[in-house]
Every structure is written in C-alpha cells, then in structure tokens.
C-alpha cells in the first residue's frame, strides 16, 4: 500500500487530534524557524510539508512530523557554517543539505534498514540527545536576554553570555521569563485542555503589545504569505563532501528521532508501525521541505502524544494538522509579525530542557560506571565538537567495551576436558559413559567444548588452548551448542586442527549445525579432515576415538 493508513471511520477523533496537534505545532515551528536562522517562515514550511508527506506516505498512522529540537540544532550549525563560507549561496546550500538528507532517508527505507537504525546503545543515544538539548538552551539564552545569537555557534554563545547577562534587556527578559514561567508552572490539568506553548505565545505577545509597546521589543517581523518559493539544489564543487556528511547526520538523526517516536505511538495505540515505510515518508517530506525552503523535520514526541490523546487513530489527523498550518502560511502570515523573539526563545529553551535525559543523568553512575562515562563523553563531544564525532566515538567505545565483555564471557565457554588425571569435572550434558572416556588419561582423548554463538572476540580464548593439546592423541571438538560461528573463531579452530594433525593427533568434529558446517567447508576443512570424522553426536565421536586408537595399537 502506497499511502499511509488513512481512514474515514474515525473522522471526529482524527480531526480533533489534528487540530490540537496544529495548535501545539504553531509556536514550536515559529520558535525553531527563528532559532535556526532561516526565519520563522522556514519553520512553518517545514511543519506543513514534512508533516503532510510523512502523513501521506509514512508507516505510522498517528505520528506527527515537524521540525524538532535535535533537527533544528543540527541545521542551525549547517546554516551558520555555510553562510559564513558562502554568504550569497549558503542558505540555499543548507536547503540542499535538507533535500539530500531526505534522499538518504528514502534510501534507508528502500534498503530496509529501518530495523537497524535505532540499534544503538542507550548511553550513546542519551548522550547525544542531552548534548543537543544543552546546545539548544545555550543558543537561545542570548535571545532571552535581548540579543541575537552570536555567530560562531555554541562556544561563542557560551563565551558571550557573561557580558550579555550584565547588559540584558529588561523587556526581553521579562517576556522570555513570562513564557518560561507559564511553561513550567501551568497545572497539568489545565495543560491537557490548553497547550502551554500556545498560552505562552498568546500571553507573551499580548503583554508585549499592550504593556511594553511595539517599538520596545524585538519581534519576528512580517513573514511572506502565500506559496513558498522553489529552492533548486545549490552546491559548490568544493563543498559537496561537507554537504553529504551534514546530510547524512541529518538523515540519521531524523530517522532515529522518527522511529523512536513511532515506538511511543505504537505503545499508546497498541499498533505496529512499518519502519521502512516510515523512513520513506520522512525522507520524502524532508526532500520537499528543503525544495521549498523549509526546515528538516522528524517525528515529534509532543505532537504525536497530543494527537493521540486528542482521539486520532489514522493518518487523517496528520493531514488535518497540515491543512490548518497551511492556512496560517497562506493567509495569516502577517498576524505573527508582532510575536516577540524572546517569547520564542523561552519556548525553545523549554524544549531544550525537555530533550535532556534528566532521568538517566541522575542514575547513570548507579547503573554502569562505564556507561555513564560514555554518556558524559558523548555529551561533551556533542556540545564542544560536533554530533557526528560524538556519535562515532561513542559507538566505537561502546562497541569495544561490549565486545570485550562478550569475549570474556565466551572465554569461559571454551573449555577443554581430559588433559590430566586430576580433571574430573563434568562437561555440559554429559553421560557417565562420556565422562569415563574423557577422564581416563590412558585414552589420551581431549574434549574441547564450545558454547553459544562465537564471534571474533572468542578467537583469543580458543587459540590460548593450542599449546595444551601438544600431547593429546585424539581431539574431539564439540559444536553441539554452537548455532553460529564467525570467520575469526573459525580460523582459530582451523589453526588448532592443523596443529593437532601435524603432531599426529586425530581430530573429530562433533555436533556441527548447518551454519558452522558450511563455514568449515568453505575454509576447506573437508579436504583436511575426512567426512567420516564429522560426527553428528558427541558420544559417537568419543566412541570412535577409542575404537580408532585401539585399532592403531
């Protein structure tokens, strides 16, 4: 099915959910548009276009897609760097980056990578999301104090804060503080009836116009009404690599954001989303958004939850939301001209604080010291270096630690029995007959027991036993509990086999499953060990080893 789950048997709930989501989306879209540097209209275009196409072609019926805090932080850095390098074409190149991100997301969906996108350690996800939240807060503190965000990103903004705090604009700080006060202090019961973001926007604007006066605060200014203009792809040959890297970061972040939100939607509606189809819908939405000068977007948790709580059950709610926001863009753009920038900064700061994973930050050190170090490292790299470096290093370190733990665990699963007369230990699922054969030193039989899926981390534990087998006359390698074996451990076992054969030891392979059997055949072990020594059951291999030795004697 090409289109998302659009049904007309739940129209009332879908329309109410869509209207509620649109009310929540309006102040957020304006805030993110201004925060990005592309203008309030870019936030509105992104909210309409990403939301529309994701609702039409996505794979999660109740998901609301729009510009989000994490996506805004990344595109803000992209816009800042490109405009600094290319003052005339920088913004157009940033929108080209959004288009490329959409193409990457569609490619993820076509290649059916949806199930793998969110397979990242939670410490890394938590770290870069918290880092993004910190960046958003730092970047919006200058506008809260009455000043534009300094050029140069988060570091310059942080360095400028002490001076800005000494000379803050009282009117702007009052408006931003009022917005934050409403967002933090609004009772939960009232928040279910009226979105706090909308109340903060309306109250802040009314106070600015009626109390402060239109000339004494910074406002959005009039945004163009009507259809957005087309932004054809623009790029410089010297910048294509940078654009691709930035687009890939946007695509990955948007995919993770959307699919995690889809999981939340599933839990609330007891449904199952289609990850690959969702990525195609998200990618198409970002492609069109960039083409018309809109911000990139992803699945928005707040909008999705509000949509579902409003009664939405099909993608019709997303279409209704997009239609309402499109009405604002086409005919009511002039009404937002008087909205104070400080109020939008307050809304964005609250979003940034919500993005920070406070729950895990409080208990990360109790759960895992290594995990907490990774998380704090990712946060620092995200804030002070860049997102792709943070995620790359975080994933590398987390995976290395995981492999080390697996290797330690698997080393305990590589055991050899029958090496001396003091070894009377029971091996896994052994019978009395098997124990008698192996534990009798006169038989000269060693049994290597392997267990579990063997990855490259287990190779060291396998080769460590090679020297111990120099005096053994028969070696039985038991694969009964090995469903899968990687190339590296298979090569380690091949080395042990060759070493054993070289000093006259007979080798038997017992209990090989399909995959390990195919692996060893592809390595050419069948040419080294005759097929009659590939025994189905361990007990039969041990009996055969006894018979072979008796025959030789």
Cβ(71)–Cβ(253) below 8 Å: yes
Residues 6+ apart with CB under 8 A from 471: 444
- DSSP code, position 38: S
pLDDT value for 553: 44
Strand 506-510 relative to strand 534-535, pairing: parallel
- Check: CB of residue 182 under 8 Å from CB of residue 196: yes
For the stretch 12-42, what's the b/e string if a residue is b when 16 or more beta carbons lie within 10 angstroms of its beta carbon? ebbbbbbbbbbbbbbbbbbbbbbbbbbbbbb
Three-state DSSP state, 478 = strand
Tokens for 376, please give them.
Answer: 């704090």
DSSP letter assigned to residue 151: T
Beta strands per DSSP E along 199-300:
298-299
Give the global pTM. Answer: 0.79
In terms of C-beta density within 10 A (0-12 exposed, 13-18 middle, 19 or more buried), how is residue 428 classed? middle
Residues 6+ apart with CB under 8 A from 442: none
- Check residue 547 and give its pLDDT: 84
DSSP 209: I
What are phi and psi for residue 351, nearest 5 degrees? -60, -45
Per-residue pLDDT of the chain (553 residues; tens, 9 = 90+): 566 667 777 788 888 889 889 988 889 999 999 999 899 999 999 999 999 999 999 989 999 999 998 899 999 989 988 998 888 889 999 999 999 999 999 999 999 988 887 777 888 888 888 998 899 899 999 999 999 888 767 888 888 999 999 988 999 999 999 999 999 999 988 887 788 888 999 999 999 999 888 778 888 887 777 778 888 888 777 778 889 989 999 999 999 989 988 988 888 888 888 999 999 999 999 999 999 999 999 999 888 988 898 888 888 999 999 999 998 888 876 778 888 999 999 999 998 898 898 988 888 888 788 888 989 999 999 888 877 788 788 888 887 887 777 777 777 777 888 776 444 456 667 788 888 888 887 888 888 888 888 877 778 878 887 777 777 888 999 998 899 998 988 999 999 888 888 888 889 999 999 999 999 999 888 788 888 889 988 889 988 988 876 555 4
d(CA 256, CA 279): 10
With contact defined as beta carbons under 8 Å apart, do 501 and 528 qualify?
yes
What b-and-e string marks burial along 162-198, b requiring 16 or more CB atoms within 10 Å of the CB?
eebeeeebebbbbbbebbbebbeebeeeeeeeebbbb
Could you tell me the domains of the chain? 11-401 (no CATH), 413-552 (3.30.750.24)
3-state secondary structure of 407: helix
Report the number of secondary-structure helices (H) and strands (E) in the chain.
Answer: 24, 7
CB 500 within 8 A of CB 529: no
| 3-state secondary structure at position 496 | helix
SS3 sequence of 61-108? CCCCEECCHHHHHHHHHHHHHHHHHCCCCHHHHHHHHHHHHHHHHHHH
């Amino acid at each position: 099915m090409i289109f998302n789950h659009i049904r007309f048997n739940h129209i009332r709930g879908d329309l109410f959910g869509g209207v509620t989501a649109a009310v929540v989306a309006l102040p957020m879209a304006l805030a993110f548009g201004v925060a990005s540097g592309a203008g309030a209209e870019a936030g509105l275009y992104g909210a309409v276009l990403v939301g529309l196409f994701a609702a039409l072609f996505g794979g999660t019926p109740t998901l609301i897609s729009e510009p989000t805090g994490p996506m805004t932080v990344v595109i803000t850095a992209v816009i800042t760097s490109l405009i600094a390098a290319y003052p005339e074409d920088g913004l157009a190149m940033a929108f080209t980056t959004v288009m490329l991100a959409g193409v990457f997301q569609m490619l993820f969906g076509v290649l059916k990578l949806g199930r793998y996108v969110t397979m990242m350690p939670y410490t890394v996800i938590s770290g870069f999301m918290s880092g993004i939240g910190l960046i958003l807060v730092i970047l919006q503190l200058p506008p809260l104090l009455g000043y534009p965000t300094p050029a140069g990103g988060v570091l310059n903004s942080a360095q400028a804060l002490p001076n800005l705090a000494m000379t803050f604009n009282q009117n702007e700080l009052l408006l931003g503080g009022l917005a934050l006060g409403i967002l933090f202090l609004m009772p939960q019961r009232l928040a279910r009836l009226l979105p706090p973001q909308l109340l903060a926007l309306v109250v802040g604007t009314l106070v600015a116009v009626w109390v402060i006066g239109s000339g004494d605060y910074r406002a959005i200014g009039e945004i163009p009404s009507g259809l957005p203009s087309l932004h054809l792809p623009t790029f410089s040959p010297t910048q294509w690599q940078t654009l691709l890297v930035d687009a890939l970061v946007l695509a990955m972040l948007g995919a993770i954001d959307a699919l995690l939100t889809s999981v939340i939607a599933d839990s609330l509606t007891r449904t199952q989303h289609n990850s690959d189809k969702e990525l195609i819908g998200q990618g198409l939405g970002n492609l069109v958004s960039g083409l018309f000068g809109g911000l990139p977007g992803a699945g928005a948790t707040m909008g999705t939850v509000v949509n579902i709580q409003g009664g939405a059950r099909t993608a019709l709610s997303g279409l209704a939301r997009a239609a309402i926001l499109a009405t604002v863009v086409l005919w009511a753009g002039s009404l937002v001209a008087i909205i104070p920038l400080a109020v939008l900064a307050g809304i964005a700061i609250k979003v940034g604080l919500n993005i920070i994973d406070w729950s895990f930050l409080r208990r990360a050190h109790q759960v895992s010291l290594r995990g907490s170090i990774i998380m704090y490292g990712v946060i620092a790299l995200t804030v002070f270096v860049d997102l792709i470096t943070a995620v790359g290093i975080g994933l590398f370190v987390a995976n290395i630690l995981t492999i080390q733990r697996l290797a330690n665990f698997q080393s305990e699963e590589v055991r050899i029995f029958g090496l001396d007369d003091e070894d009377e230990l029971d091996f896994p699922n052994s019978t009395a007959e098997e124990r008698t054969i192996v534990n009798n030193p006169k038989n000269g039989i060693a049994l290597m027991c392997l267990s579990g899926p063997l990855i490259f981390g287990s190779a060291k534990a396998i080769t460590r036993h090679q020297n111990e087998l120099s005096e053994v006359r028969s070696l039985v390698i038991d694969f009964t509990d090995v469903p899968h074996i990687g190339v590296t451990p298979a090569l380690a076992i091949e080395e042990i086999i060759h070493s054993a054969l070289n000093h006259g030891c007979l080798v038997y392979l017992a209990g090989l499953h399909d995959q390990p059997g195919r692996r060893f055949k592809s390595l050419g072990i069948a040419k080294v060990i005759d097929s009659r020594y590939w025994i189905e059951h361990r007990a039969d291999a041990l009996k055969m080893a006894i018979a072979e030795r008796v025959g030789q004697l």
